[in-house]
Amino acid sequence: MKKKQKIIAVLPGDGIGPEVINETYKIIKVLNNYFNLNIKTKEYHIGGIAIDKFGTGLPEITISGCKKANAILLGSVGGPKWNFLPLNKQPERSGLLKLRKKFNFFCNLRPAKLHIELQNLSPLKKEITLKGFNILCIRELTGGIYFGKPKGIKKNKNEKYAFDTEIYSEFEIKRIANIAFEIAQKKKLKITSIDKANVLESSVLWRRTVEKIAKKFPSVPLKHLYVDNAAMQIIKDPSQFDIILTSNLFGDILSDECAAITGSIGMLPSASFNEKKFGMYEPAGGSAPDIQNKNVANPIAQILSLSMLIEYSLNKPKIAFAINKSINEVLKKGYRTLDISNNKENFVTTKEMGNLITEFLIKEYEKNGKNIISKDI
Ligand code: NAD
């Protein structure tokens, strides 16, 4: 029996966005033809291309298309072509940030996995990377010091002063902690909640509230770290972390630190959720205009973003795992795109990488397909 149709609003955007999104279509075709999914994709414009066509980074038609969908798959936005525009009219502000605000995506998930085959890309010492790591950063995205009021620059006599407000309500902490604990419970992971509770009142409330939520999830191990210590521990031994749960400001910095130690921006996906668990999925990197239209972009971050969508929005973790496994197999066999290749003469193109992952996914279906489908109900 064919499954109920699920709609993905696909927003390729600018730069390498359309190229890497094209590779996800190959995967979706396999999911529909082999894995008994019924995914329909509908494309909409966002960012620079939307400015060119509609005069705005986020046209109404894109918003209404996203509202009707089960999830959003985004490429990336921006590029030098639109740099002359005033800041609030540029693709990121008028497209992506507006979209995030429109759907109130308060929870951001950024996995930072070091693939054992790609250890050499990490800037960390080999004795540290030998253990590998797989950290899921869960960052609060709509509160804290980035949005807290009052903020501003004022003058007292002749001296300028500036101020921002780090503010969190209990409800904001509860809703993100709930998501982190649900994921940890399902995946049998431990949580490290990161704050600065030795100095900041907002962190004292953060810690107390996280502990309250933890009581509902007794099987999930919870530890607290101060942010300064966390920044050190991530460098010294990233393998000690499963889930990092933290505020907007600390998450901004620590998720980039976690990404940097994998050494490969082209491999990192991300997901954002709102209160209804509606999700948007996109690579952690940008539109990479320096490599646009050269068929050298790494499509893995985009394919992993699709995999997260399948897991979290379509609730098919086994199928998502099969996609991830296919990527691992391709890497194990030694295939590399230019950005992750040691040998700059010998690498596979964007399209070839997409084809390889697709082929391995079909092989995975032939080996374990029935089992995967039957377990993923
Ligand atoms: P970037 O992430 O686009 O590029 C940084 C470097 O990483 C470049 O050398 C690029 O070639 C490389 N890179 C990134 N993704 C890659 C991939 N999949 N495969 C291979 N190499 C990859 O960051 P940037 O250069 O600072 O920004 C470029 C544009 O992207 C700017 O207009 C910026 O505003 C925009 N941007 C968009 C987003 C988004 O859409 N979410 C995020 C960050 C930056």
pLDDT in tens, 149-193: 999 999 999 999 999 999 999 999 999 999 999 999 999 999 999
Asked whether the predicted pLDDT for residue 1 surpasses 90, the reply is no
* Residue nearest (by alpha carbon) to ligand 1 atom 40: 76
With a 6 Å cutoff on the Cβ, whether 23 touches ligand 1 is: no
pLDDT value at residue 3 = 76
- In DSSP notation, 293-317 reads TTT-S--HHHHHHHHHHHHHTS--H
Do 302 and 168 reside in the same domain of the chain?
no
**Cis before 91? omega within 30:** no
pLDDT value at residue 2 = 63
- Residue 26 — φ and ψ, nearest 5°? -65, -40
Do 221 and 313 reside in the same domain of the chain?
no
* Residue nearest (by alpha carbon) to ligand 1 atom 26: 286
**Which residue among 230, 265, 300 closes a domain?**
265
pLDDT value at residue 296 = 97
pLDDT in tens, 303-329: 999 999 999 999 999 999 999 999 999
Do 218 and 301 reside in the same domain of the chain?
no
pLDDT in tens, 194-244: 999 999 999 999 999 999 999 999 999 999 999 999 999 999 999 999 999
Domain for residue 115, yes or no?
A: no
Find all residues with CB under 8 Å of 240, minimum gap 6, and list them. Answer: 233
**Which residue among 222, 243, 265 closes a domain?**
265
Per the confidence metrics, is the pTM higher than 0.75? yes
List the structure tokens of 15.
């730069």
pLDDT value at residue 371 = 84
Question: How high is the mean pLDDT of the chain?
Answer: 96
Catalytic site residue from 256, 318, 325, 351 = 256
372: confidence class by pLDDT, cuts 50, 70, 90: confident
Do 243 and 365 reside in the same domain of the chain?
no
Asked whether the predicted pLDDT for residue 245 surpasses 90, the reply is yes
Do 253 and 143 reside in the same domain of the chain?
yes
With a 6 Å cutoff on the Cβ, whether 268 touches ligand 1 is: no
* Residue nearest (by alpha carbon) to ligand 1 atom 33: 78
Contact, 291 vs 345, CB < 8 A? no
Closest ligand 1 atom to the C-alpha of 297? Answer: 19
pLDDT value at residue 370 = 82
Do 251 and 199 reside in the same domain of the chain?
yes
377: confidence class by pLDDT, cuts 50, 70, 90: low
Do 252 and 322 reside in the same domain of the chain?
no
Pairing of strands 159-163, 191-195: unpaired
Catalytic site residue from 26, 252, 325, 351 = 252
How many Å apart are CA 7 and CA 313, to the nearest integer? 11
29-50 as b/e: b if 16+ CB within 10 A: ebbeebbbbebeeeebbbbbbb
Do 77 and 174 reside in the same domain of the chain?
no
With a 6 Å cutoff on the Cβ, whether 248 touches ligand 1 is: no
Nearest residue to 132 (alpha-carbon basis) of 20, 241, 250, 288: 241
* Residue nearest (by alpha carbon) to ligand 1 atom 10: 288
How many Å apart are CA 133 and CA 111, to the nearest integer? 10
Helix (H), strand (E) at residue 100: helix 98-102
Closest ligand 1 atom to the C-alpha of 80? Answer: 32
With a 6 Å cutoff on the Cβ, whether 148 touches ligand 1 is: no
Radius of gyration of the chain from its Cα atoms, rounded to whole angstroms: 21
Domain for residue 272, yes or no?
A: no
Domain for residue 270, yes or no?
A: no
State yes or no: is 196 an active-site residue. yes
Nearest residue to 7 (alpha-carbon basis) of 94, 67, 71: 71
- For residue 238, what is the domain's CATH number? 3.40.718.10
Give residue 318's domain range.
1-103+278-377
Do 42 and 88 reside in the same domain of the chain?
yes
Do 143 and 240 reside in the same domain of the chain?
yes
Domain for residue 215, yes or no?
A: yes
State yes or no: is 52 an active-site residue. no
Domain count, the chain: 2
- In DSSP notation, 17-79 reads HHHHHHHHHHHHHHHHHTS---EEEEE---THHHHHHHSSSS-HHHHHHHHHSSEEEEEE---
Domain for residue 363, yes or no?
A: yes
With a 6 Å cutoff on the Cβ, whether 288 touches ligand 1 is: yes
